[in-house]
Amino acid sequence: MAAKQKAVIVTCAVTGSIHTPSMSPHLPVTAEEIATEALAAAAAGASVVHLHARHPETGQPTQDPDRFREFLPRIQRESDVVVNITTGGAPNMTIEERLQPALQLKPEIASLNMGSMNFGLYPMLDRFKTFQHDWERPYLEGSHDRVFKNTFKDIQDILERCGDNGTRFEIECYDIGHLYTAAHFMDRGILKGPVLIQSVFGLLGGIGGHPEDVQHMKRTADRLFGDDYHWSVLGAGRNQMPIATMAATMGGNVRVGLEDSLWIGAGKLAESNADQVRKIVAILGELGLTPATPEQTRAMLNLKGNQAVSFE
């Protein structure tokens, strides 16, 4: 099974494509905000920042590589943090559109979802009633009849095209079947170990956030990947800190950030990504664990180093 460790990789997912600007005044939208939040998260203890881009005027998710180029050089200049670029984008984008930032910018890590799935954001309309921008309500409502598409062909294409650039992958598994898909690509030699398995809990369309779900994911991953993987978790919404804490006690790594949850406590919005990083780092400390440095993270995941990216 995955080796237990005292240094825990803390990833911070800074803005994502799930939440809309009307949900929190603290959600980063502009390039300056995204860069500032990423750097603050790194200073607070995150060794990886997982990044999406947004239109600065409306906050709408975009996979235009030029939007990423507006904040990536600053992050690279001012920090040694590992940058992870999404290939997920948003569920209403085409595969080719979602792929372009990782393909062109050649990050050390890119995220990759292991399957097509329903991606239900519409329940958030029960909590959020008014919106600043015209796109927000239809975007959430449309998830009732929207499928996020990643076929076997799509996954192989992304693995091969980005892998040719030396990019490694955060393999995002929203359900047990996604673990088997990752094992399929490892068996074929298309996905190379040590693989970073990011288990995602609590999003409508994927596995739930019950402790038994977390245990089931871990047991299955241990059986499929043995010592050739590192396990990490993210919990959506109120699942964030409980699942991160549970996983840390099980030898896992953790992800926090405003992409996954807007909250820092019951009914209290997080004022920054760094707030969530500081909270999980404090929890790790209470468990006798420490956040991994970027250097340790690169060694654990066999990354190419930030001198080999193409952010300019």
Percentage of residues in the chain having pLDDT higher than 90: 96
Mean pLDDT over each residue of the chain, to the nearest integer? 96
Mean per-residue pLDDT, 34-40: 98
Which segments within 236-288 are labelled E, that is strand? 253-256, 263-265, 268-269
Judge contact between 309 and 64, C-beta under 8 A.
Answer: no
Percentage of residues in the chain having pLDDT higher than 70: 98
Statement: residue 1 has pLDDT above 70: no
Distance from C-alpha of 168 to C-alpha of 198, rounded to nearest angstrom: 13
Mean per-residue pLDDT, 9-21: 97
Look up tokens 């949900």; give the residue: 23
Structure tokens at 115: 């399957």
3 state SS of 278: helix
Distance from C-alpha of 104 to C-alpha of 260, rounded to nearest angstrom: 26
Distance from C-alpha of 119 to C-alpha of 201, rounded to nearest angstrom: 12
In a 13 Å sphere around the CA of 233, the CA atoms on its Cβ side amount to 31
Q: Is the pTM of this model over 0.85?
A: yes
CA distances from 164 to 89, 107, 168 (A): 21, 12, 10
